């Protein structure tokens, strides 16, 4: 079941929503929305992820819009989104409270948001795909992640948060 299909259970009118996908990454959810004819706009911090999303859309003969930005300062008008998707993003932002305040700012009255974060004590880390890494003290875990060359590039752009 796709993320969009999953969301349709809780938000039946998502197909007529103006969707903002915060932390859109390589554009998977945006592509789902484009295929369904849903008005969706991505916000992504990393330029390489934006380029990858645009390439994927081009190959699929779909049109998507992704703007470079950060969750703490969303480039959206007040009350402009009827649905905001923030899946596995808040653990990466510099100021989660500011990010949540921004999500609230751009949500239209009676709008909905989907926010998820990784379980810090989960057995498998969803970002690095390593078993047990979450149970190791963070400084040591970061060294192991680097040693195994599983680093993620969170520095694709200069932050302006």
pLDDT of 142 reads 84
Residue with tokens 């849903």: 38
pLDDT of 78 reads 98
H/E segment holding residue 39: strand 39-44
Strands (E), the chain: 18-22, 39-44, 66-68, 81-87, 107-116
Tokens encoding 36: 């369904």
pLDDT of 108 reads 96
pLDDT of 153 reads 53
User: Over the stretch 9-42, which tens digit does the pLDDT of each residue have?
Assistant: 888 888 888 999 999 999 999 999 999 999 999 9
pLDDT of 115 reads 95
Q: Torsion-angle region of residue 61: left (phi > 0), alpha (psi -120 to 50) or beta?
A: left
**Positions in the chain short of pLDDT 70:** 151-161
pLDDT of 71 reads 97
Q: Is 47 helix (H, G, I), strand (E, B) or coil?
A: helix
pLDDT of 118 reads 82
pLDDT of 152 reads 62
Query: How many CA atoms are closer than 13 Å to the CA of 106, on its beta-carbon side?
Result: 25
């Amino acid at each position: 079941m796709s993320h969009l299909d999953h969301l349709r259970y809780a938000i039946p009118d998502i197909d007529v929503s103006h969707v903002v996908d915060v932390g859109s990454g390589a554009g998977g959810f945006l592509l789902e929305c484009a295929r369904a004819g849903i008005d969706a706009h991505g916000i992504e911090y990393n330029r390489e992820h934006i380029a990858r999303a645009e390439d994927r859309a081009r190959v699929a003969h779909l049109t998507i819009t992704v703007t470079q930005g950060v969750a703490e300062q969303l480039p959206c008008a007040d009350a402009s989104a009827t649905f905001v998707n923030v899946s596995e993003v808040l653990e990466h932002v510099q100021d989660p409270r500011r990010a949540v305040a921004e999500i609230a700012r751009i949500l239209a009255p009676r709008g909905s948001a989907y926010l998820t974060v990784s379980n810090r004590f989960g057995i498998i880390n969803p970002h690095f795909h390593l078993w047990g890494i979450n149970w190791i003290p963070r400084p040591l875990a970061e060294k192991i992640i680097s040693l195994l060359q599983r680093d993620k590039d969170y520095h694709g752009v200069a932050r302006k948060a």
